[in-house]
């Protein structure tokens, strides 16, 4: 009932947002066509796009509420299994707790008889709680505690190791890791970290034996099952975002560039260079309140336009948490945005691939990819930029390249232009030769 109430409240928020956007569209369309400014027309297009996105999200949430309220759905969730492990003697299942929240581990025979609950009240982030087992111990990935725990077959804790530390080599990073574990034949334990993609090898006593490598996966809490082929010395990690399996091989066997790196390089040298620069909704530097105040000496029309632009920027940031008013894609990979929930964050960007006039680029936060940009170039100076997550569009708007004002260009040229020298005629006393100062 609590989950249903929360989802209904979220659905109500989206429904209210759709209503507010419809009111804004209606207010603009009430104006006579001849009175609509270019800014008004762009507002209508933007609001229509936002309305479509919110309606799609609203429909999905309404369907989710229906599933939550279904008794069959509630039973199905309780029957969910997050992991299983098999030894020569037992079969272990990790599943949702029958009562309350969290997870529990059940031990049974290979024929699924004699079930016994051996672990209860396990925490797990985002529906993830992994276990593995050997004949000697049961291994738990306690992702909410940043620990790996070793238990006997009856669930008695023998030891644990690990800590939450984003900088220490033996620590686990992001919000909740390790997400998955794997037992090696020699007793070592492999850990896999969601969002980060790092695989580490520990002894069963908790000593870090080394960092195996790092798989390229997207950010977020998710299942990152891993495997190890001892004969070929290869490691495997699941990348559920892309429906891929990442393969980590020894550096000596690795190609100079992987296929993904080749595509990224081609994109960087192609449309990536075109993307570099500043982009805004109207092709002008994003205004702020100071810009409006500084317009005192300008015409009434200029002042009104500046104030309208500031007013437009505010509602966008409040009503749509994802849409940005301004982007600055720098050549060194830095990214600056204004408007939306990501304005205050330190961001970066990397090219992924390009297809025709469309560029795909990763948005990087703290060396982790959480979102992706889809940039569809209409021309060299106009593009539709969409923010995406797991192939779902979160926001999409048309942007124009910000070009320097003529006065700024002239000022910059004046600063960089070498000073001219007057031609001066001088006579050499002995030779009678004449020389002139160089004129540049």
Inside any domain, residue 397: yes
Boundary residue ending a domain (50, 71, 92): 71
Q: Are residues 235 and 275 in the same domain?
A: no
Domain co-membership, 220 together with 85: yes
What is the enclosing helix (H) or strand (E) of 61?
Answer: helix 38-68
How do residues 227-266 score in pLDDT, each as one tens digit?
999 999 999 999 988 888 999 999 889 888 888 899 999 9
Q: How far is 39 from 35, CA to CA, in rounded Å?
A: 11
Task: Give dist(CA 321, CA 372) in Å, integer.
Answer: 16
Residue 229 belongs to a domain: yes
Is 437 contained in some domain?
no
- Are 58 and 105 in the same domain? no
For residue 424, pLDDT over 60 is answered with no
Is residue 135 located within the same domain as residue 22?
no
Q: Which residue has the higher pLDDT, 170 or 418?
A: 170
Q: Of 71, 92, 117, which one is at a domain's C-terminal end?
A: 71
In terms of average pLDDT, the best of 26-40, 230-244, 294-308 is: 230-244
Higher pLDDT, 142 or 286: 142
Let me know whether 233 and 344 are in one domain.
no
pLDDT-wise least confident of 7-21, 167-181, 189-203, 422-436 = 422-436
Same domain, 174 and 250: yes
Q: Are residues 245 and 293 in the same domain?
A: no
| 268 assigned to some structural domain | yes
411 is a domain residue: no
54 inside domain: yes
Q: Greater confidence, 420 or 285?
A: 285
3-state secondary structure of 125: helix
pLDDT (average), residues 260-287: 92
Give the total number of structural domains in the chain.
3
Q: Does residue 289 share a domain with residue 238?
A: no
In a domain, 368, yes or no: yes
Residues 328 and 198 in one domain: no
Q: Does residue 412 lie within any of the structural domains?
A: no
pLDDT digits (tens, 9 = 90+) for 343-360: 767 899 999 999 999 999
- Cis bond upstream, residue 274 (ω within 30): no
pLDDT at 287: 61
Residues 171 and 281 in one domain: no
Please say if the pLDDT value at position 296 is more than 50. no
Q: Tell me, what CATH number does 246's domain have?
A: 2.120.10.30
Are 146 and 166 contained in the same domain?
yes
CA neighbor of 222 nearest in space, from 202, 249, 243: 243
What would the pLDDT profile of 177-224 be if each residue is shown by its tens digit? 999 999 999 999 999 999 899 999 999 999 999 999 999 888 888 899
Concatenate the DSSP letters of all residues of 209-267 into one string: EEEEEE---BSSS----EEEETTTTEEEEEETTTTEEEEE--GGGS-SS-HHHHHHHHH
Name residue 360's beta-bridge partners.
353, 374
- Structural domain range at position 218: 80-254
pTM of the model: 0.65
Most confident of 2-16, 96-110, 139-153: 139-153
Of 231, 254, 277, the position where a domain reaches its end is 254
- Measured at the CA of 64, the angle between CA 391 and CA 369, to 5 degrees, comes to 30
106 and 53, same structural domain?
Answer: no
């Amino acid at each position: 009932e609590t989950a249903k109430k929360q989802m209904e409240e979220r659905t109500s928020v989206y429904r209210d947002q759709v209503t507010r956007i419809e009111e804004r569209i209606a207010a603009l369309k009430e104006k006579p066509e001849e009175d609509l400014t270019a800014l008004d027309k762009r507002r209508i297009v933007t609001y229509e796009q936002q309305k479509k996105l919110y309606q799609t999200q609203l429909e999905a949430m309404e369907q989710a509420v229906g599933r939550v309220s279904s008794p069959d759905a509630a039973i199905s969730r309780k029957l969910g299994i997050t992991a299983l492990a098999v030894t020569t003697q037992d079969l272990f299942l990790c599943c949702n707790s029958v009562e309350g929240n969290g997870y529990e581990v059940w031990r049974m025979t290979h024929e699924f008889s004699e079930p016994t609950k051996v672990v209860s009240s396990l925490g797990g982030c985002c529906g993830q709680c992994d276990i593995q087992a050997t004949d000697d111990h049961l291994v738990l990935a306690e992702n909410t505690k940043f620990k790996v725990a070793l238990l006997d077959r009856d669930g008695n804790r023998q030891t644990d190791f690990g800590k939450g530390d984003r900088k220490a080599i033996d620590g686990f990073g992001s919000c909740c890791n390790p997400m998955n574990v794997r037992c090696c034949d020699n007793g070592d334990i492999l850990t896999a970290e969601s969002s980060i993609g790092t695989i580490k090898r520990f002894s069963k006593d908790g000593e870090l034996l080394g960092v195996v490598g790092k798989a390229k996966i997207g950010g977020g809490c998710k299942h990152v099952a891993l495997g190890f082929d001892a004969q070929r010395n290869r490691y495997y990690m699941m990348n559920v975002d892309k429906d891929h399996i990442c393969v980590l091989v020894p550096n000596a066997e690795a190609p100079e560039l992987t296929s993904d790196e080749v595509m990224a390089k081609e994109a960087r040298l192609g449309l990536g260079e075109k993307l570099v620069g500043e982009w805004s909704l109207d092709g002008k530097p994003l205004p702020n309140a100071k810009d409006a105040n500084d317009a005192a000496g300008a015409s009434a029309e200029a002042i009104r336009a500046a104030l309208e632009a500031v007013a437009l920027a505010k509602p966008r940031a409040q009503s749509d948490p994802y849409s940005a008013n301004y982007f600055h894609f720098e050549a060194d990979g830095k990214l600056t945005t204004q408007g939306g929930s990501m304005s205050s964050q330190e961001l970066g960007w990397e090219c992924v691939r390009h297809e025709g006039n469309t560029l795909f680029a990763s948005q990087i936060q703290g060396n982790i990819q959480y979102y992706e940009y889809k940039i569809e170039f209409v021309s060299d100076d106009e593009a539709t930029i969409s923010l995406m997550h797991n192939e779902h569009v979160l926001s999409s708007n048309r942007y124009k390249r910000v070009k320097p004002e003529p006065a700024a260009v002239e000022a910059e040229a004046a600063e960089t232009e070498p000073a001219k020298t007057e031609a001066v005629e001088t006579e050499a006393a002995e030779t009678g030769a004449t020389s002139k100062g160089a004129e540049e």
